[in-house]
Amino acid sequence: MSKKTPEELAAAIKRYEMKRKPLSMRQTRLALLDAGLLSGVEDAIANMAEPEKSKAQIEWEYASTVKRHDPWLISLGTELGLSEEQIDELFYNAYQL
């Protein structure tokens, strides 16, 4: 059996949940609002290169769920100036909504 500290175990569970459990778009938008980022999403998408721009726009407007490692979400996070850790934190916080 592994000798993980409680913090390491919590982090491992967090990573596992983010890989498996999608967020609703409601949770996603509320988390972005709480972080002060929602108003910048449309501009961030507009600044993307094609075909990522069109893919992200379609996902943003029509997807019902979001998975942590969706390519469009990673591109959006990059455009918003977020690190991988900040995206993880934002995604995890959205689970609470």
Residue 12 lies in a domain: no
Residue 34 lies in a domain: yes
Residue 66 lies in a domain: yes
Q: Which of 35-43's residues contact partners 24+ apart within 8 Å by CB, and which partners?
A: 35/90, 35/93, 37/80, 37/82, 37/90, 40/80, 41/76, 41/80
Alpha helices in 35-80 (DSSP H): 41-46, 52-62, 71-79
CA distance 94 to 73: 14
Q: Indicate the pTM of the whole model.
A: 0.80
pLDDT, one tens digit for every residue, the chain (97 residues): 557 677 877 777 777 676 678 999 999 999 999 999 999 999 999 999 999 999 999 999 999 999 988 999 999 999 999 988 888 888 888 888 8
Residue 4 lies in a domain: no
Number of domains in the chain: 1
CA distance 24 to 53: 21
Residue 10 lies in a domain: no
Residue 11 lies in a domain: no
Residue 61 lies in a domain: yes
User: What range does the domain containing 61 cover?
Assistant: 22-94
